[in-house]
Amino acid sequence: MPGIVARDPATGEVVTGGIEAETRQVLSSLEAILEAAGTSLRNVLKATCYLRNMDDYAGFNKIWKAYFSVNPPARTCIQVGRLGREFGVEVEVIAGLPSGPDTIFQGAMP
């Protein structure tokens, strides 16, 4: 899934209030997108997290742990020089689909 930033889905406006508010919005949006696709945060396999300032890591991690409290995915956190529109955080993930009769892809490719 491409990078998700702290944008209010109802208004399209940038969420303000610091790294914790931004992270909460990013992960809330991510959760909604995954559920609409038939999966969930439980099925996130790998996340790449971009922080504008690594000094924000503690606040980011506090919210991350609330969303991924059990079996968190593999994660890489990278400080970047600038995120678009002055966002403080962007997260992209790779998530699997749960297996079941309605799953389009089940198993390894030949």
Active site residues: 77
Q: Over the range 12-50, which residues count as b (16 or more CB within 10 Å of their CB) and which as e?
A: eebbeeebbebbbbbbbbbeeebeeeebebebbeebebb
